[in-house]
Structure 1
Amino acid sequence: MESDREPRWLSAEEQGVWQAYVQATTLLEDHLDRQLQRDAGMPHIYYALLVHLARAPHRRLRMTRLAQDAKITRSRLSHAIARLEKHGWVRREDCPSDKRGQNAVLTEAGDAVLRRSAPGHVAAVRQAIFDRLAPEQVTQLGEIMRVVAEGLQPEGTDADLPWRR
C-alpha cells in the first residue's frame, strides 16, 4: 500500500554525508579486497569467514550460524565454503546434534593462511581508517556504527552482535 505522504527527503547535509559514506565504504571494501587478493589470494569475504571460524569454539560453526554472523545468504556461503574447501582451509562435517545440519570447520591450513594474512590485513585497515582519525573520532565512529548496526539487526538477534558477546 503506497503512502500519500511526501517522502522525508534528505537535507543537503544529510545527502552529503550519505554520499561520503557510500563512497568511503565502496572504496574501503575495494581496498581490503585488493590487499587480501594480493597477499593471501582470497577476497575479503573469505577472510571474514575464516576469522569467524577462528573465533568460534573448537574453530567450527553451524553453516546457518556462519551465514547469519557473516550477513550473507546461505547460497553465497555454500559457494564460499566450497572454494575454501578446495584450498584446504575449511572442511564441512555433519552436525552431531542435527543430522540435517552441517558445520564449517577451520583446518590447520586455514588457520595458517589466516595467521599469515592477518598482519597485512590489519595494516591495510589501520592505514585506511585508524591512522586517519583522531582518538575521539575513533570512539565516535564506533558509537555511530554500533547504533546503525543495532537498528538494522533483525529482531530477536541482538546476541549476534559481536560487541555484545
Structure 2
Amino acid sequence: MDSSATPGPTPWLSPAEEDVWRSFLRLTRGMERAVDRQLQRDSELSGSEYEILVPLSESTTGELPSRELLRGLRWERSRLSHMLSRMERRGMIRRSPSPTDARGLVVGITEHGREAIGRAAPAHLAMVREAFMDQLSEEERTALLSITRKVMPRLERMDLV
C-alpha cells in the first residue's frame, strides 16, 4: 500500500458496514480476552504461551525453526523473542542453534511444556466449543472460513500482517 499517494475523498462506511465492522472487532477482541482469561484461570498458561505450544506440540519432532514459528504466529520478532525467553525460564521450551541455518534457532517443547498444554487443552477447547463453535451453524462456519480465506491474503498483499 502506497501511503505517499494523495488521498482522495474518505470512503466512509455506511451505517450497515459500520455495524458489521464494529461487531467484528467486538467479537475478535472479546474472544481474545475470553481465551486469555480462561487459560489463566484454568491453567498455568497465557494465551500467547498456548499459541506457541500448539504448533510445537503438533510438530512430529516437537521442534520448529524459530523463523517458521514466527511466520505461523504472525507476531513481531521482538514479541516472540520475549515470549520464548519467558517460556524457556519456566522450562516449557528450549532453544538451540539450527543445524541448517547458522543464524537461526530451533525451538523445542519440553516435557513440562507438553504437560502444561496437555492439562490446558481440554478446558480450553470446551470453552471454544461452548462460546463459539456451538453458537454457529454449519453455514455460518463455512461463511466465516470463506471470509478469512478471502481477507487474509489481501492483508498479506498489503503487507499488513
Equivalent residues, number: 155
Q: For residues 98 and 157 of structure 2, what CA distance do their matches in structure 1 show?
A: 25
Residue of 42, 46, 56 corresponding to 2:45: 42
Residue of 135, 138, 145 corresponding to 1:135: 138
Q: 1:4/1:148 Cα in 2 relative to 1: closer, same or farther (>3 Å)?
A: closer
Per the TM alignment, residue 3 of structure 1 is displaced from its structure 2 partner at its CA by 2.0
Partner of 1:47: helix, strand, or coil?
helix
Residue of 94, 109, 112 corresponding to 2:112: 109
Partner of 2:104: helix, strand, or coil?
strand
Q: For residues 100 and 133 of structure 1, what CA distance do their matches in structure 2 show?
A: 45
Per the TM alignment, residue 56 of structure 1 is displaced from its structure 2 partner at its CA by 2.4
Q: For residues 109 and 17 of structure 1, what CA distance do their matches in structure 2 show?
A: 42
Higher relative contact order (CA 8 A, sep 6+): 2
Which ranges of structure 1 fall in alignment gaps of 5 or more residues? 156-165
Q: For residues 89 and 74 of structure 2, what CA distance do their matches in structure 1 show?
A: 22
Residue 80 of structure 1 aligns with an amino acid whose one-letter code is M
Query: Counterpart in 2 of 1:152?
Result: 155
TM-score when normalising by structure 2: 0.89
1:13-52 alignment runs, 5 A limit:
13-52=16-55
Q: Please tell me whether residue 69 in structure 1 is matched to residue 72 in structure 2.
A: yes
Deviates more, 1:139-148 or 1:10-19: 139-148
Residue 33 of structure 1 aligns with an amino acid whose one-letter code is D
Residue of 12, 15, 19 corresponding to 2:15: 12
Q: 1:151/1:115 Cα in 2 relative to 1: closer, same or farther (>3 Å)?
A: same
Residues 79-110 of structure 1: per-residue CA shift (max 9 Å, x gap): 10111112211000110112221111011211
Residue 138 of structure 2 aligns with an amino acid whose one-letter code is P
Residue of 123, 127, 130 corresponding to 1:120: 123
Per the TM alignment, residue 149 of structure 1 is displaced from its structure 2 partner at its CA by 1.6
Partner of 1:103: helix, strand, or coil?
strand
Q: Please tell me whether residue 99 in structure 1 is matched to residue 102 in structure 2.
A: yes
Aligned residues of 2:44 and 2:116 also touching (Cα < 8 A): no
Structure 1 stretches of 4+ moved >4 Å: none
Q: 1:16/1:99 Cα in 2 relative to 1: closer, same or farther (>3 Å)?
A: same
Q: 1:154/1:67 Cα in 2 relative to 1: closer, same or farther (>3 Å)?
A: farther
Per the TM alignment, residue 153 of structure 1 is displaced from its structure 2 partner at its CA by 2.5
Q: For residues 59 and 65 of structure 1, what CA distance do their matches in structure 2 show?
A: 13
Which ranges of structure 2 fall in alignment gaps of 5 or more residues? none
Deviates more, 1:107-116 or 1:24-33: 107-116
Query: Counterpart in 1 of 2:61?
Result: 58
